[in-house]
Amino acid sequence: MYAHPFTYHRAASLEEASKLLQQLGEEARLIAGGQSLIPLMKMRMARPSALIDMNFISGLNGIARHGGELRFGALARHADIEHSDVVKAMPILHDCAAGIADVQVRNQGTIGGSLAEADPSGDWGAVLLTQETAVRCFGPNGERTVPLEEFITDAYTTVLAHDELVREVIVKIPPKQSGGACVAFKRSAPVYATVSAAVQVTLDGEDTCQSARIVLGCVGLTALRVKEAEAEIQGKKIGSKSIDAAAEAARASAEPPGDMRGSTDYKRALIAALVKRALGIAVRRARGEQVEAGHEYVGR
Amino acid sequence: MSDADKILVRLRVNGEAREAPAEPRTLLVEFLRDQLNLTGTHIGCDTTYCGACTVLLNGRTVKSCTLFAPMADGGEITTVEGLATNGKLHPVQQAFAECHGLQCGYCTPGLLMSTLHLLTKIPNPTEKQIRKAIAGNTCRCTGYQNVFKSIRAAAAEMEKR
């Protein structure tokens, strides 16, 4: 399949990329890994007049710990994150990185591109919303750091100005006695998840939930934080009663549109099951256990 | 599009320097097949699903239907044509042949590249690691069991060398 013709430009630096965006006008777009944008262009759902290739900008793919933060360069590939020792401090990020599509897509797709593309079915948007995440943006007037809650505003829409781009994604490492987990269900590896649930809990002692964040992916135009579900477990004793109540509240608050991946009712049933499973794993991790989580699909 | 709008794409393919001008929208798989005449890499679904177009770019597998050729400029590519040496099959190819890891063969070039990528990183993979490694390669003939068998056999053979 052929994309609509475009002119191709290679940026050697963030400054040059931003300048090219200004010069080439509103129909120009940045490309990083291209794993969301290229399929859209081949289906002619995106028709940029010009592409500015960021892949040749050096020093933008780092993954490092700085004090209490993990910092990801915009061009850090999902596979780099999956195999990073630094990321072991936050298993929920490994769950996500190791489960996105398949090996080939993870080798190419980037965390910065994923957030900037703001695909409603993108994995990072939901997972990082369970954390204190900030997006460091670069523009002609300098830099600004935007909390992820404010960064993605709608499907395929962010607060980035036309000549602004993502430089780095910064995630705060949670306090002790915390655990997170991401559980997604998809029909096969290369496809988008039907539904995903990402949760983060912090315990007070062994059995009480001090705080919780519960976010659903693929159920609407953006990732959905379900505060109704969080309220069912926050400050409560952790057990099947509070976990079931949170799962039920998540199911009731979401209105996932029916599509080829499943009907509304089917997705709602999945929401309850996935939230329950993710909470169970997050709590066990908060207690210091090593538990596997991530994307589930037939043939896994 | 006039020739002036084309971009010169320079690659090292299977150890050999190759270059050709291409429209920016040319996919890497089309560049390999049409410009460089390396038709071993197949176009299957053309939608980032099936993995028939899998090649190695700088030692990592990518779906070459989901990369514009200029994005790979300066890169090192390995395709299925680069596996055999002096007419002798690569152990991965030999294993697929001996264990019936293919029937129609359409997905095979991609599966071979994914297998090579796996065994380069993990010489002795578990069953789970094998399944995960080829989750992005669809085969409609074999039912995968003989593919798993081929990968195990290739791993054993490569360990010996």
What is the predicted pLDDT for the residue at A299?
72
Percent helix, percent strand, percent coil in chain A, to nearest 5: 35, 30, 40
Nearest CA in chain B to A99: B132
The answer to whether the CB atoms of A190 and B136 lie below 8 A apart is: yes
Please give the Cα distance from B122 to A257 (Å, whole number): 41
Beta-ladder partners of A183: A197, A294
pTM, two decimals, is: 0.96
What is the predicted pLDDT for the residue at B1?
59
Chains A, B: CB pairs < 8 Å = 93
Please write down the long-range contacts of B118-126, taking CB distance under 8 Å and 24 or more positions apart: B118/B151, B119/B92, B119/B151, B119/B154, B119/B155, B119/B158, B120/B59, B123/B155, B123/B158, B123/B159, B124/B155, B124/B159, B125/B151, B125/B155
For residues A28 and A120, membership in a common domain is answered with no
Please give the Cα distance from A223 to A152 (Å, whole number): 9
Domain count of the fold of chain A = 3
- Mean pLDDT (whole number) for B29-57: 98
Residue among A7, A34, A191 whose CB faces B67 most closely: A34
The answer to whether the CB atoms of A35 and B117 lie below 8 A apart is: no
Tokens of B28: 């890497």
For residues A119 and A136, membership in a common domain is answered with yes
Q: What is the value of ipTM here, to two decimals? A: 0.97
For residues A35 and A76, membership in a common domain is answered with no
Domains, in order of start, for chain B: 3-82 (3.10.20.30), 91-160 (1.10.150.120)
Contact criterion met (CB below 8 Å) for A246 and A214: yes
Signed CA dihedral, B112, B114, B117, B118: sign only: negative
Please give the Cα distance from A286 to A206 (Å, whole number): 9
Please give the Cα distance from B83 to B130 (Å, whole number): 20
Examine residue A300 and state whether it is found in any structural domain, yes or no.
no
Please give the Cα distance from A282 to A171 (Å, whole number): 18
Beta-ladder partners of A65: A70
Residues 6+ apart with CB under 8 A from A149: A129
For residues A233 and A286, membership in a common domain is answered with yes
pLDDT tens for chain A, 300 residues long, are: 899 999 999 999 999 999 999 999 999 999 999 999 999 999 999 999 999 999 999 999 999 999 999 999 999 999 999 999 999 999 999 999 999 999 999 999 999 999 999 999 999 999 999 999 999 999 999 999 999 999 999 999 999 999 999 999 999 999 999 999 999 999 999 999 999 999 999 999 989 999 999 999 999 999 999 999 999 999 999 999 999 999 999 999 999 999 999 999 999 999 999 999 999 999 999 999 999 999 988 776
Q: Which of A149, A172, A195 marks a domain boundary?
A: A172
